[in-house]
Amino acid sequence: MVSMALGSDRESRHVHVLIVGSGFSGLGMAIRLAQQGVRDYLVLERGNDVGGTWRDNTYPGAACDVPSQLYSYSFALNPDWSRSFSKQPEIQRYIQGVADRYGVRDKHIFDCEMTEARWDSDTAHWQVHTSKGTFTADILISAVGALCEPNLPDIKGINTFQGKVFHSARWDHEADLTGKRVAVIGTGASAIQIVPSIAPKVARLDLYQRTAPWLLPRNDRPYTSAERFVFEHVPGVQRLYRAGIYAAREAQVIGLAKFPPAMLVLETIARAKLRSQVRDSRLREKVTPNFRIGCKRMLVSNDYYPALGRDNVDVVTDGIAEIRAGSIVTTDGAEREVDAIVVATGFHVTDSPAYETITGRDGRTLAEVFEAEGQQGYKGSAIAGYPNLFFLLGPNVGLGHTSIVYMIESQIAYIADAVATIDRRGLRTVEVRKDVQDSFNRTLQGKLVRSVWNTGGCASWYLDKYGNNTTLWPDFTFRFRKLLEKFDVPAYETTTRSRDIEAGAESKVVAG
């Protein structure tokens, strides 16, 4: 591991490319750079392993709601998936296996948290301070992910609670919930997997629901050994299967982004599921959503509604007024005693603390820029004012319908081409032009106006405080791929190294 090479010294170390984060995106980026012959790069990872969100989310029932055949790298298909929707341990093993197979682990520094990244115009380097010393880099790639910083609810008295309280993404495996009275706060993608997994073993489960989600059937099943044999040995079958899943999911973009009334088809399926799985009319009324399906992330589960129907489970729809030492009090004045609280309240997405640590050319942090102007970028991969900085899963790259790995691989190709272009042309700096970024975002927001995310009648973390959808891609994902096929130098202001040497000063050119 590189951490050994660094030893105990805390002096600055320079690398050509520094990647921060080693989930699906950072790991994939590292592999691609290695494949194109970039040797002088490092990956900083604050955890003790690769995997990102799949390393961190170990809550009971954690699984992917996108089929694994699609939720995997195109360059590392896995014929051995045990089932159509894999569980977290299998996905984490897959990611670890890819890191080993492509031999990039020794480029990682684990347990190394970036605390600050600052652009230095004089040297044209990023200065990156970490828990394991300082680094400088010609090119910085942020791969910290959007769903990594737990969002802890600001509920009165939560710090006075005497029992165990933990976030879904930081599951406390020491806490034995068997026979305990447990509260789960939230009804998002994480909670709907946690509730059915723990309900059979707890004494009582109070589920605090602010908004009822839409649920679709989960077509999950184990793969037979014959299927796995065919995936492995019959050329093309697995890719064809994967393409079929991709195409079926892509069809949802029509309803989600272009013509929301088309979502009625899925809403009808979801309503039928609700009717058949929730027979108790009072419970059904509580868990019937009041917005157009797709406005929030569509959830898939076969065991969530049955879990809510259990005698030891109660869906609480009154808001939480206060948490006391051993109980939760709701706005109707009811007080429910509880031994442990699971906080499944999602993540800081549009207000990630990571943005406070990155300072650009004009001395402003990303958090300050986003606060003033909204979270905007160019192709989700670059931001004006931040030279030589690229983003994986930056603004408007998120999805509500298919595999994020597809988007990640599109960005990896773009950023890898950017690095190759910088090296080939001897560029000192590249920075996306503000006018290009603004024009890109006008088009993007124009497309989002009619989307179900903006018109579906719900509040969601997809929208920022200005009401702009700064998280999701508003079109077919193959259009994103096409857009990011090549690094488009004219969209960037560039300076060259050779001119520096010739003129002895920075020279600014707009590449054409």
By CB under 6 A, name the binding residues for ligand NAP: 63-66, 147, 153, 168, 185-191, 208, 210-211, 297, 344-347, 461
List all residues 6 or more positions away from 123 whose beta carbon is below 8 Å from its beta carbon.
136
Give how far Cα 306 sits from Cα of 150, 177, 183, 248, 312, Å.
Answer: 28, 20, 18, 28, 12
The DSSP letter of residue 507 is -
Smallest distance, ligand NAP to C-beta of residue 389, A: 25
- CB 214 → ligand NAP: shortest distance, Å? 11
- For ligand NAP, the closer of residues 133 and 188 by Cβ is 188
How far CA 41 is from CA of 107, 109, 135, 290, 322, in Å, comes to 7, 11, 11, 49, 49
In the bound state with ligand NAP, the residue whose beta carbon lies nearer, of 343 and 412, is 343
For ligand NAP, give the closer residue by CB, 191 or 444: 191
Cβ-based neighbours of 464, under 8 Å, separated by 6 or more:
350, 370, 374, 375, 470
**Three-state DSSP class for 316?**
strand
Q: Which is nearer to ligand NAP, 119 or 161 (CB)?
A: 161
Judged by DSSP in three states, 73 sits in coil
Give 188 or 387: the residue with its C-beta nearer to ligand NAP.
188
Smaller CB separation from ligand NAP, 104 or 191:
191
Nearest approach in angstroms of CB 17 to ligand NAP is 28
Residue with the closest Cβ to ligand NAP? 188
Nearest to ligand NAP of 20, 66 (CB atom): 66
CB of 149 to ligand NAP, least distance (A): 11
Minimum distance, C-beta of residue 461 to ligand NAP, in the bound complex (Å): 5
- Compute CA distances 445 → 375, 384, 437, 456, 475, whole Å: 12, 18, 12, 16, 11
CB of 45 to ligand NAP, least distance (A): 20
Identity of residue 345: T
- Rounded least distance, CB 28 to ligand NAP, Å: 17
Residue 135 in tokens: 């680094």
Tally the residues of the chain. 512
Q: Give the C-alpha separation, 51 to 62, whole Å.
A: 14
